[in-house]
């Protein structure tokens, strides 16, 4: 049963987010609004260090990080807002629970930058980590919403160029199909607390530029899955992006990839951001941490 706190969060998110005129709000205004409203109840044992070169982002390090264990995290925000700071409630808590240092990437956003700018930045970050001596199999990549799609796009780009792959990937409510062909786009148009079907369709076109919406560089659901590392995917039954996860899990399994798909009833899009307020948020983060630790 959905907790009382989760139901209250759904009401709050619906009031604040559901009918925002996305992506028509000017990017700078939207980014400032989201940053001002960011909530982060951070673990006391996690320190933060900003990085500006050769890639932009921040290290989030727990005091008891296991040697070598590293998470490369990509924030969500439809590819036109969001930041490492905005998603610290997920990434810093994962750092503590998984006993892993996290590098949260501040990748280039639209409308100033179109696809594949974010994927290029993700590749640069992965190459930087491995160039610093981190073994690829010790890296877990992950992200929420657009960041989840970016994590998947990174795996496919690494595979395509013949590079060693990370140990695995975890995706929170990933946006993998910017062509918006999943049945849940319309089915959950009213039920979803955060987005409408129109918001998703227009958001995809906003980042695509002249690229076809089903180009795998933009929509990794249409890419190749053979040989990818194990995946942990979670989504809410009530969100418009539910079928981005369901179809992803199906295609990956057909390609021989080990997949864990967790569908949670009645929760908001990327509910782990509300940790530690919601018990469901903490339960999911603990589960992902166990996936990373290989418990």
d(CA 210, CA 42): 40
Intervals of the chain under pLDDT 50:
none
d(CA 212, CA 83): 26
Task: Give the pLDDT confidence score for residue 19 in this predicted structure.
Answer: 79
CA 7 to chain centre: 22
Please indicate, yes or no, if residue 183 is contained in any of the structural domains: yes
User: Which residues pair with residue 50 across a beta bridge?
Assistant: 58
- The total of structural domains in the chain comes to 1
Sheet with 230-236, edge to edge strand ranges: 46-51, 57-62, 101-105, 70-74, 139-144, 168-172, 230-236, 259-264
Contact 189, 197 (CB under 8 A): yes
Q: Is 124 exposed, middle or buried (0-12, 13-18, 19+ CB in 10 A)?
A: middle
d(CA 75, CA 81): 9
Please indicate, yes or no, if residue 197 is contained in any of the structural domains: yes
pTM for this entry: 0.96
Please indicate, yes or no, if residue 96 is contained in any of the structural domains: no
Q: What is the largest CA-CA distance in the chain?
A: 48
- Residues 42-99: tens digit of each pLDDT: 899 999 999 999 999 999 999 999 999 999 999 999 999 999 999 999 999 999 999 9
Please indicate, yes or no, if residue 206 is contained in any of the structural domains: yes
Please indicate, yes or no, if residue 100 is contained in any of the structural domains: no
Contact 245, 171 (CB under 8 A): yes
- What are the residue numbers of the active site? 145, 239, 269
Please indicate, yes or no, if residue 103 is contained in any of the structural domains: no
Please indicate, yes or no, if residue 223 is contained in any of the structural domains: yes
Please indicate, yes or no, if residue 120 is contained in any of the structural domains: yes
Contact 154, 216 (CB under 8 A): no
Q: Report the CATH number that the domain containing residue 241 is assigned in CATH.
A: 3.40.50.1820
Task: Give the pLDDT confidence score for residue 18 in this predicted structure.
Answer: 87
Closest CA to 139 of 294, 295, 24, 292: 292
The DSSP code for 209 is: T
User: How many CB atoms are located within 10 Å of the residue 198 CB?
Assistant: 13
Give the structural domain span for 252.
Answer: 4-32+108-293
Q: Is 127 exposed, middle or buried (0-12, 13-18, 19+ CB in 10 A)?
A: middle
Beta strands 139-144 and 230-236, pairing class: unpaired
Beta strands 46-51 and 57-62, pairing class: antiparallel
The DSSP code for 28 is: H
Contact 151, 171 (CB under 8 A): yes
Task: Give the pLDDT confidence score for residue 38 in this predicted structure.
Answer: 65
């Amino acid at each position: 049963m959905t907790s009382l706190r989760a139901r209250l969060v759904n009401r709050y998110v619906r009031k604040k987010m559901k009918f925002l005129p996305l992506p028509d709000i000017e990017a700078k205004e939207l980014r400032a609004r989201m940053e001002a409203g960011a909530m982060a109840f951070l673990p006391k044992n996690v320190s933060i260090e900003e990085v500006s070169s050769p890639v932009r982002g921040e290290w989030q390090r727990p005091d008891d990080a296991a040697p070598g264990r590293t998470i490369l995290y990509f924030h969500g925000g439809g590819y036109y807002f969001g930041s490492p700071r905005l998603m610290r409630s997920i990434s810093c808590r994962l750092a503590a629970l998984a006993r892993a240092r996290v590098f949260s990437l501040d990748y280039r956003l639209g409308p100033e930058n179109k696809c594949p700018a974010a994927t290029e930045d993700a590749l640069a970050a992965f190459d930087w980590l491995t160039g610093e001596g981190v073994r690829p199999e010790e890296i877990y990549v992950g992200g929420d919403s657009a960041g989840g799609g970016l994590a998947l796009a990174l795996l496919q780009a690494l595979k395509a160029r013949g590079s060693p792959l990370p140990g695995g990937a975890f995706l929170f409510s990933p946006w993998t199909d910017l062509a918006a062909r999943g049945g849940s786009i319309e089915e959950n148009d009213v039920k979803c607390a955060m987005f409408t079907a129109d918001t998703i369709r227009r958001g995809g076109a906003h980042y695509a530029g002249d690229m076809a919406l089903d180009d795998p560089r933009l929509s990794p659901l249409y890419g190749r899955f053979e040989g990818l590392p194990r995946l942990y995917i979670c989504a809410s039954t009530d969100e418009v992006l539910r079928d981005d996860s369901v179809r992803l899990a199906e295609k990956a399994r057909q390609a021989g990839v080990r997949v864990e798909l967790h569908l949670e009833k009645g929760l908001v899009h990327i509910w782990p951001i509300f940790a530690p307020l919601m018990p469901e948020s903490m339960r999911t983060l603990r589960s992902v941490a166990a996936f990373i630790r290989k418990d």
